[in-house]
Structure 1
């Protein structure tokens, strides 16, 4: 991001947070930083997610970095996320682009609706006629640091396979490794050794699985 973009989105973050109060976190990620683990360059009301300048990235940031500038990513508006302590947020993610259309940053809004959700549930129990499906689906987690993010991605890969790592065969592990690669987990510094330890494989085996996962993904 260039200096004018940083200045504008920093001021925009401050203005929106001031308008909507302490439950509204606004955050600016720089996707051109040399250290993806420190993508947050501006944040207001960081207590909402427990993050500060120098923290990051989130799932959305990893996705954007992995997609690179050749893919046109779509903004995500008013979707649900959740913090590590269980609070529910209504989030919006807007991708910042330069004059050439290349994605250079992310502007995010995370509004804590935990109390509003509790009130809505109470009203629903009084006015509803019976149980129904939740159309919003499961909220996405918001993590505080890259270590937590990697742990979360590993857990998701295990859930995808449907069995603990100790019981996985080779095909299961390849499937899990493919998921981690597709979600950008290996962009995180020192992710390889942690993944190897978790799945009980060597560094050589990890590279072999990655090659196999990429090959099967292209077919």
Structure 2
């Protein structure tokens, strides 16, 4: 992303944060960053999530980097949470170049913890997606924490501990990690292999089977 675009988006972030106050974190992620583990190029009120310029991507950013750019859509007023349990009302907006390709992501994270506590009287200010707060994704401090969170999500998706998973269920979990962009994180393969008790050869085999299953599902859906 060009320095001019970063400068504009940085000013936009500053304006939004100034408008809504210290509980409103605004983050700019460079989706064209040379190192996908360091995507934050501007941040206001970073104390909300504990992040700084140069920190790594969120769950949404990893999915953006690994997914089909044409399928990416802005999201508004959904719930996330910080590592210490505070509730955030979040929105993500893609910044696109003249060809429609996403080059940056603007993320707004508003701390509504106290508002939720008084939701009966100010419910219109805290309206958000219906997803349960306890299942909301965590905004991590670094990519290592993000990878841990994605692994935990993959286990919850299957619905049983790794030790009780059969091959098909492990493939399902590995497929989720791949779709979530987990393998963009440096040394993620080693960590995933250790967690699931498999070799790298088995991991690559599971990845191939997960991708084949996903392609098969697409073909069936197109008939």
State the TM-score, normalized to the length of structure 1.
0.91
1:53-109 CA deviation, whole Å, 9 max, x = no partner? 01120011011101254x241111111111111101111100011111111010111
> Shift of residue 167 of structure 1?
1.4
Q: Within 5 A, what are the aligned runs for 1:89-128?
A: 89-121=88-120, 123=121
CA separation in 2, counterparts of 1:68 and 1:34?
A: 19
CA separation in 2, counterparts of 1:72 and 1:184?
A: 15
* Residue aligning to 2:84: 85
CA separation in 2, counterparts of 1:33 and 1:166?
A: 37
Q: Within 5 A, what are the aligned runs for 1:119-198?
A: 119-121=118-120, 123=121, 136-138=130-132, 139-198=136-195
> Number of residue pairs matched?
208
* SS of aligned partner of 1:57: coil
Q: Within 5 A, what are the aligned runs for 1:15-54?
A: 15-54=15-54
CA separation in 2, counterparts of 1:113 and 1:26?
A: 14
CA separation in 2, counterparts of 1:102 and 1:137?
A: 29
Structure 2: 5+ residue stretches without partners: 123-127, 217-223
State the TM-score, normalized to the length of structure 2.
0.89
Structure 1: 5+ residue stretches without partners: 125-133
* SS of aligned partner of 1:80: strand
> Shift of residue 212 of structure 1?
0.9
CA separation in 2, counterparts of 1:145 and 1:135?
A: 26
CA separation in 2, counterparts of 1:4 and 1:135?
A: 34
Contact 2:67 2:179 in 1 (8 A): no
Runs of 4+ in 1 over 3 A off after TM superposition: none
CA separation in 1, counterparts of 2:116 and 2:78?
A: 14
CA separation in 2, counterparts of 1:213 and 1:67?
A: 15
Computed over aligned residues only, the root mean square deviation of the Cα atoms, in angstroms, reads 1.5
1:210 aligns with one of 200, 203, 207: 207
